[in-house]
Amino acid sequence: MHERLLDALARRGALADPDAIAYLSSRADPVAVLESVIAKLEGVPLVLTMEHIQRAQELARKAGQAARPPPVANATLPSPPKLRDLARATEVDAQFAVVRDVTGKSTCEGTLDDFSRYFASRLAMIGPMLRARRELVGSVDIARAKKLTREVRFIGMVADVRATKKGDRVLEVEDETDTAPVFLSQTSDLFKDPVLPDEVIGVVGRPTEKGLIIAEQVVRPDILTPRAFPATKDAVSVAFISDVHVGSKTFLREKWDAFASWMNGTDEVAQSIKYLVLAGDVVDGIGVYPRQEEELAIDDIFAQYEEVARLLGAIPDHVNMILLPGNHDAVRPAEPQPALPQDVAKLFDSNVTFVGNPCSFTVHGVRILAYHGRSLDDFVYSLPGMSYARPLDGMREMLRRRHLAPLYGGKTPIAPEAEDYLVIDEVPDVFVAGHVHAVGMDEYKGVKIVNASTWQAQTAYQKMHNIIPQPARVPILNLGTGRGTIKEF
């Protein structure tokens, strides 16, 4: 039965993580369940996870139908692409360059002027992406739009979202010329796709005599043309980890040691790993949440980083590590966060590069956007249907909005820099985040999206909030083939 399942996966050119395989194998007809899951998803995921299975089941439930019996696999299915031989990381020179990072460029002091300049920068960066959309051809500024009596099209930032007494929704949309109230009827499909305060959107609508604009379309910048993965000549791999939380009593030392020893072993995939991205929260930090000291094994921040440096010292020298901070690290919490300071960085070997959060960089020409993921908390709290168990949904919403943290004034502290570093200006090939201590790997419009797990067991806080972590899993992406796998320790 197990083999039939693996066969069925291979026919689809898909991989599945151990949880998903265990779940499917536990069903009476694993292949039938697999086929119905795939039928519900848009396209075959890179690595099938429990998240996909739950999403498919939810879609099936929403459609008011039980998961349907599978279409019979047939000869028209594409055969899986051949895995090119994995390159050995020791035999390939590193090609790494930072493309966009606030480190060394922060100018803000948090004055009122800074804030208006910051939001103007957001509008100036996302506005042109929207103007390129077919639906918004002929859009005008809001001052002009308010004088028109026919259909209007304009672009602006959402200054406010409010519910009317009857339960409809009104957005105050603003540009540099004026503000317009945009009405979303609860009976319209638009109502199902909630708008967050401070996102930049396009509106197609009709004005009423009272000056309200009835929305017919709300346009997101999104990704216009799905990308093809730029498979590189050298088939080396990038591994993604996050939220190591060294210094916490719940740091999973044994699992970490198993990972480090695998990295030093003879496994072909391990030997192909040339880059290791650490997406923030390498330490648990000090004073990050109330009564944290009771959960700390190391209660000095430098001692925590010294321990991280020791642990990373055991990763092979030929692996280039790219380390960004998270909300537990020793830099300002407001995003964009600069790289960890020199007095921390100097504790580490030279194969560790410190970058800011977020950071865009390339490896062998493949563009990677790495973000710790604090704003996933805001997505979970503000968008119905989001959940900590499915972080990739939140990452998709970021790509649709071309912004890593659209909501200002939520759980994500934002520093009003002159340029909005949280705008996703160029579409990356790979987008990685951590923070929610879950794991997943998928694709959205050609962008590989990755959530990079954790090395911390469930904390008391997470237990209280029923957040179930998926620790000690390592998503690994091969740059030569564009294929991914998730290795569990």
Q: Which residues contact Fe ion by CB under 5 A?
A: 243, 281
> Using CA atoms, how far apart are residues 195 and 146, in angstroms rounded to an integer?
21
| Smallest distance, ligand D5M to C-beta of residue 157, A | 26
Task: Tell me if residue 247 falls in helix, strand or coil.
Answer: coil
| Smallest distance, ligand D5M to C-beta of residue 388, A | 5
Tell whether residue 101 is a contact of Zn ion (CB under 5 A): no
461, interface contact from Fe ion, ligand D5M, Zn ion, none, CB < 5-8 Å by kind: ligand D5M
> Using CA atoms, how far apart are residues 174 and 142, in angstroms rounded to an integer?
7
Piece in contact with ligand D5M (CB under 6 A), picked from 186-194, 266-274, 421-429, 460-468: 460-468
Tell whether residue 281 is a contact of ligand D5M (CB under 6 A): yes
Nearer to Zn ion, 40 or 435 (CB): 435
The Cα-based distances of 364 to 126, 234, 241 in angstroms read 28, 8, 20
Nearer to ligand D5M, 5 or 392 (CB): 392
Tell whether residue 435 is a contact of Zn ion (CB under 5 A): yes
Nearer to Zn ion, 236 or 452 (CB): 452
- The residue within the footprint of ligand D5M, chosen from 275, 388, 421, 455 (CB under 6 A), is 388
Nearer to ligand D5M, 220 or 435 (CB): 435
- The residue within the footprint of ligand D5M, chosen from 54, 177, 458, 462 (CB under 6 A), is 462
Buried b (16+ CB within 10 A) or exposed e, 281-299: bbbbbbeeeeebeebbebe
Count of C-beta atoms within a 10 Å radius of residue 197: 18
> Using CA atoms, how far apart are residues 345 and 312, in angstroms rounded to an integer?
12
| Smallest distance, ligand D5M to C-beta of residue 438, A | 8
- The residue within the footprint of ligand D5M, chosen from 289, 385, 409, 460 (CB under 6 A), is 289
User: How many chain residues touch Zn ion (CB under 5 A)?
Assistant: 4
Tell me, what DSSP letter sits at residue 19?
Answer: H
- The residue within the footprint of ligand D5M, chosen from 274, 401, 437, 483 (CB under 6 A), is 437
Asked whether the beta carbons of 342 and 348 are under 8 A apart, the reply is: no
Tell whether residue 304 is a contact of ligand D5M (CB under 6 A): no
198, interface contact from Zn ion, ligand D5M, Fe ion, none, CB < 5-8 Å by kind: none
Nearest residue to ligand D5M, by Cβ distance, number only: 436
Q: Where are the alpha helices (DSSP H) in 246-382?
A: 253-263, 268-272, 301-313, 342-345, 376-382
Tell whether residue 435 is a contact of ligand D5M (CB under 6 A): yes
Cis-peptide, bond into residue 358, ω within 30° of zero: yes
3-state secondary structure 64-119: CCCCCCCCCCCCCCCCCCCCCCCCCHHHCCCCEEEEEECCCCCCCCCCHHHHHHHH
Mask 222-251, x = binds ligand D5M (CB under 6 A)?
---------------------x--------
Going by C-beta distance under 8 Å and a sequence separation of 6 or more, which residues neighbour residue 64? none
> Using CA atoms, how far apart are residues 430 and 99, in angstroms rounded to an integer?
14
> Using CA atoms, how far apart are residues 108 and 115, in angstroms rounded to an integer?
9
User: How many chain residues touch ligand D5M (CB under 6 A)?
Assistant: 13
Tell whether residue 98 is a contact of ligand D5M (CB under 6 A): no
177, interface contact from Zn ion, Fe ion, ligand D5M, none, CB < 5-8 Å by kind: none
Tell whether residue 327 is a contact of Zn ion (CB under 5 A): yes
Tell whether residue 461 is a contact of ligand D5M (CB under 6 A): yes
Piece in contact with Zn ion (CB under 5 A), picked from 25-33, 131-139, 145-153, 281-289: 281-289
| Smallest distance, ligand D5M to C-beta of residue 251, A | 12
Asked whether the beta carbons of 455 and 244 are under 8 A apart, the reply is: yes
What Rg do the C-alpha atoms of the chain give, in angstroms? 23
Tell whether residue 296 is a contact of ligand D5M (CB under 6 A): no
> Using CA atoms, how far apart are residues 300 and 286, in angstroms rounded to an integer?
7
- The residue within the footprint of ligand D5M, chosen from 35, 174, 175, 377 (CB under 6 A), is 377
Nearer to ligand D5M, 2 or 463 (CB): 463
User: E-strand spans in 324-371?
Assistant: 352-354, 359-363, 366-371
Tell whether residue 326 is a contact of Zn ion (CB under 5 A): yes
> Using CA atoms, how far apart are residues 64 and 48, in angstroms rounded to an integer?
24
Mask 316-345, x = binds ligand D5M (CB under 6 A)?
-----------xx-----------------
Tell whether residue 55 is a contact of Zn ion (CB under 5 A): no
The Cα-based distances of 442 to 220, 393, 447, 489 in angstroms read 21, 10, 8, 20
What are the phi and psi torsion angles at 82 (to 5°)? Answer: -70, 135
Residue ranges in contact with ligand D5M by CB under 6 A: 243, 281, 289, 327-328, 377, 388, 435-437, 461-462, 467
Residue ranges in contact with Zn ion by CB under 5 A: 281, 326-327, 435
